[in-house]
Every structure is written in structure tokens, then in C-alpha cells.
Structure 1
Amino acid sequence: MRIWVDADACPVPIKEILFRAAERKQLETCLVANQMLRVPASPYIRAIQVPGGFDVADHYILQQIKPGDLVVTSDIPLAAGVVERAALAISPRGELYSEANIREALSMRDFMESLRSAGVQTGGPAAFGPADRQAFAKRLDQLLQRV
């Protein structure tokens, strides 16, 4: 298993959890972003900078993943592509995307997007907090126990 991180919007506490997990489990962890990222010196952790542009990091991740890899992303269309390729996708809040729930997540995303484009103020997600960090760490541990 290789861990891929859609790193442009990934919260720092989640990156720190992933860095520790990569070292502990000796798993290659690749952070993909449009900007240069600082990562700890480690044979297991690397940052990959892709050109700027809409969904460039997402497309790179989708081209590189293999079945059984793990992708950390809050991007629902990317998560759908990951699930289609028989890989695992989890959000920074610890939600595991699967064939059973990805269509609903895509539908909700599209619905909210249509509301926003019609001028409706939908607000954003709740602030990222300790409960989210804990949910992510718990889900990650569950997934890595398989390795």
C-alpha cells in the first residue's frame, strides 16, 4: 500500500498524523500539491509538486494509484475516481468513501454546487477541530492494521 495525499487543502494536523504513520509502518507516503511542500527527511515521505491548474494534483494522483493504495482527500470527485480504481479514499475528517456511499456524496456535492451557483449562501464545512483529527487517526489506524 502507498499513501497519496491531496495536499493542497489537507490540514497540517492530518499531515503530521500521516508522517508518523509512514515512519511507523514504513509506508511510502506521497504528498501531491501545486506548491512546494516541506516534509520531514524520511525515506518514506516525499512531496510531489505538480503544475498549477484546476485539478492537476487530482489527475496526477489518479494516474499513479494502484488498487489497494490509500488516498487522503476532501475532494469528492477525486474520491470517486479512487473508488473506481479499487483504491481506498478517506477524508481528513475520517470518512471512508466506498462504492456504497460515493454516489450519495457526489449527489450532495452537486446539489450544494447548484445552490451556490444560484446565489444561495450555503456556508462551508464546520471548522476542523480535535474531534475531526481523532476521527481521522482512528480510521487511518483501522486501515493500516490491514498492512
Structure 2
Amino acid sequence: SEDLLRRILRGCAQRFIFEEVAPDQYAHTDSSKMLRATGIHALVGFSCDEVMRSGAYFSDFLQQTKGNPPSWNVPSPFSLAFDPTKGLFDYYSTVDEVRGRRFDLGMGGTEATKPLVEEMFDFSSLPEGSTVVDVGGGRGHL
């Protein structure tokens, strides 16, 4: 409905995703333009779908592990949310290849955040010859 769209856009403007340039007229911001990029779009989709749904099972996971480090036979919050018999990568490759492709695109989308990471951490403070490794996503995206 028009009212619902108005509320959504207003909420996005409050979070600087869009800018309200006149009453009920919105324009893109740098943030909304970035969200249009395939990798970032996929990363947001993954975060809003799999991550949030998995988060709903985090307390169940903690109860099962009784606060101890989990063993490999305890389903992760992701597994509890989607399929208790499979881990994330197994699930993506055998059950839901569409989500798996989105996850892969999203991990590639983290490349757009590289300048932010470089600003957040002073890599020059590391001893000469240091190696920084990021294993996130299995492709070394940083």
C-alpha cells in the first residue's frame, strides 16, 4: 500500500539509506547506491535471511551446549534454523543452491568493504613481514 511504502521509505531515510528531498519524495544516497551492487545486495540478503533466522535459535544452541564449547555433533544455530542434519556449506551445496549462490556472491561483495577495513585497522602497526589472513567465505575476501 502507499502508506506502507511511505513508512518504509521514512524509516530508510532515518537510517540514511535514502534522503527525503521533499515531502514523500526520496533520493538515493551513497548507501542506497552501494546496496544496488550485486555483491552487497546479496550480503544484505544473507544477513537479513540466514543470519537473522539463525539468531533466533542462538539461545537453543546455548542451552544444548550448556555454555561449553560446542562439539561437532551439536547443530549450530544455522543448522537448527534450516536443517539440523547439515552444516552451512553442506546445506548450501546439497539442499538450497540458490541461497548458496547468494552467499557466495555476498562474500564477494565484501570486497567493497575493503577500504573500510583498511581505515579501521592500522596495518602499518604490524611488524614488517607480517601476514594477515582472512578465511571468511573460503576465498580470502578482506
Interval containing the TM-score (normalised by the shorter chain) = under 0.3
User: TM-score scaled by structure 2?
Assistant: 0.25
Which has the larger strand fraction? 1
Which has the larger helix fraction? 2
User: TM-score scaled by structure 1?
Assistant: 0.24
